[in-house]
Amino acid sequence: MKTLLIVFIKAAVAGKVKTRLAKSIGTDGAVWIYQKLLDHTASVSKNSKIATAVFENIQSQKNKEIFSHAVYFQLQQGKDLGEKMSSAFDWAFEKGYEKVILLGSDLGSLNEKIVLEAETALIENEYVIGPTYDGGYYLIGMKRPSPHLFKEIPWSTEKVLEQTLKTVTPSAFYFLELANDIDEFKDLKAESELFTKYQKQFS
């Protein structure tokens, strides 16, 4: 079965990325952290050897260099995150992919094992999801368009995962390991390796 990995990213522009984190460490620090997360996510997607499509908020030459292995670059389409993700899945299925996995770029602990586990999970499961400690998810995958998963979801709240699971029978989901995405300072501190690098960079 043909698999596509979709990565949602933003251009690393001060004041536009990691805005909650920036309240604690400043915009320069937030951009630096986001850049490190982009580099890490690109490395994981490359090492997974799954065809990758990068969906950007705006076109960025720098992002094309970071994700030089990607097969496709597309602009995100939609009024909110739900519409953008649903549109990306529709695009992938129209391209003929049979298993589609979407992830963001906020996970310092992401590795190719997680991505490959998600791909394998879709052989026998309708959906796969990677929950986060803050009530959201860092990865979602499926085998057919499912726009209902993205409608009337309170994005950027602790209710995202809970509401998403209500859209289908919970048993339809395969759950990946619980993980910490980096949105606020406490999340950064929980990622000891990245936090240490940040302290060295800005000390």
The SS3 of residue 30 is helix
> pLDDT for 127-137, tens place per residue?
999 999 999 99
3-state secondary structure of 11: coil
**pTM score, whole prediction:** 0.95
Backbone angles phi, psi at 9, to 5 degrees: -140, 165
Return per-residue pLDDT of the chain as tens, 203 residues: 699 999 999 999 999 899 999 999 999 999 999 999 999 999 999 999 999 999 999 999 999 999 999 999 999 999 999 999 999 999 999 999 999 999 999 999 999 999 999 999 999 999 999 999 999 999 999 999 999 999 999 998 999 999 999 999 878 999 999 999 999 999 999 998 998 998 999 97
For residues 200 and 32, the answer to whether their CB atoms sit within 8 Å is no
The torsion angle over the Cα atoms of residues 107, 111, 94 and 137, rounded to 10 degrees, is -40
Q: What are phi and psi of 74, to 5 degrees?
A: -135, 155
Q: What is the pLDDT of residue 1?
A: 67
- Taking alpha carbons only, the member of 86, 103, 98 closest to residue 149 is 86
CA dist., res. 141 & res. 156, Å (int): 19
CB 142 within 8 A of CB 100: yes
Nearest to 45, CA basis, from 134, 1, 90, 107: 107
pLDDT (tens digit, 9 = 90+) per residue, 47-73? 999 999 999 999 999 999 999 999 999
- Residue 203's pLDDT is 77
Q: Which domains does the chain have, with CATH numbers?
A: 3-198 (3.90.550.10)
Closest CA to 66 of 11, 131, 119: 11
How far is Cα of residue 151 from the mean position of the Cα atoms in its chain? 18
The CA distance from 45 to 103, in Å, is: 10
